[in-house]
Amino acid sequence: MITPFQVFASHLDYNTLGSILQGGGSINFSEILKNEYTLVSVLGTKQGSELIRYRNNKLGRDMVVRKLKSAANIEVYRRLSDISNQNLVQIFDVVPQQDITYILEEYIQGISLSQLVPMKQQGVQQVIVQLAKALYVLHSLGIVHRDVKEDNVILTENGIVKLTDFDISKIYTQGKSRDTVLLGTAAYAPPEQFGLAQTDSRSDIYALGILANKLVTGQHPSVKLYTKGRLGRFIVKATNISPDKRFGSAGEVLSHFG
């Protein structure tokens, strides 16, 4: 079985690679990319990060490399590299190198949910349940995603929903009154994400409710609110302006859908 390490550095023995990944190796990681991989495409760029698809020249396998200029949320990626869940993009490793940190991720064959709007009610419900499972794992690690939206969700050809992009995710800090940095997509962000209080798991549930409404109606709930059936009841409760009146956890969301 080929490990993620072998996929990305098949020309190195494990001990040498381990030294590099701990930041103590003398080999420049950018040189490894240049010499051993082919740049397939740039998947996206935004302030502070770049997402690139590379192909291993020997194995013919693809992997995504996220280049981060800021170390603000490296701990988020480190925690994610220790777990594996089918509804979360797999983080293979975190490689700090001077001014850039490389995040090694799986390449997912699929399409963004943004290409599927609007969807039928049954399909939306299946998506929301899978995302709730992803959030359940994230929140158990103390991570708040803070940017749950269709652009950050990929549907694979096998029908698996995967949550991606943890660039503005944060570690929840008990007792903190508000977030230090105000980030997120305005249309999906709850009131507390604008500095009124610290974001927590209920903030992600709010965004999940906004996403569900957008998927089923094609519009933000402030324009057209979906209220029919179990999905509608979820949307109304999840998007309540008060965090205390929302679902208290991803586990409660899963219980709601049975």
192 near 240, Cβ under 8 Å? no
Active site residue 157: yes
Of 189, 199, 255, nearest to 222 by C-alpha is 189
Catalytic residue among 150, 157, 192, 252: 157
Omega of the bond leading into 96 within 30 degrees of 0 (cis): no
Task: Give the whole-angstrom CA distance, residue 108 versus residue 201.
Answer: 26
Task: Give the whole-angstrom CA distance, residue 112 versus residue 164.
Answer: 10
**Diameter of the chain measured on Cα atoms:** 60
19 near 66, Cβ under 8 Å? no
- Containing 138, the helix (H) or strand (E) segment is helix 121-140
DSSP H helices in 91-249: 121-140, 201-217, 229-238
Task: Give the whole-angstrom CA distance, residue 107 versus residue 74.
Answer: 20
Cross-strand partners of 162: 154
DSSP H helices in the chain: 4-8, 14-21, 29-36, 74-80, 121-140, 201-217, 229-238, 250-257
| Dihedral (Cα; 220, 222, 224, 229), 10-degree rounding | 90
Cross-strand partners of 103: 66, 94
Of 31, 9, 143, nearest to 85 by C-alpha is 143
- Structure letter (DSSP) for residue 88: B
* Residues labelled as active-site residues: 157
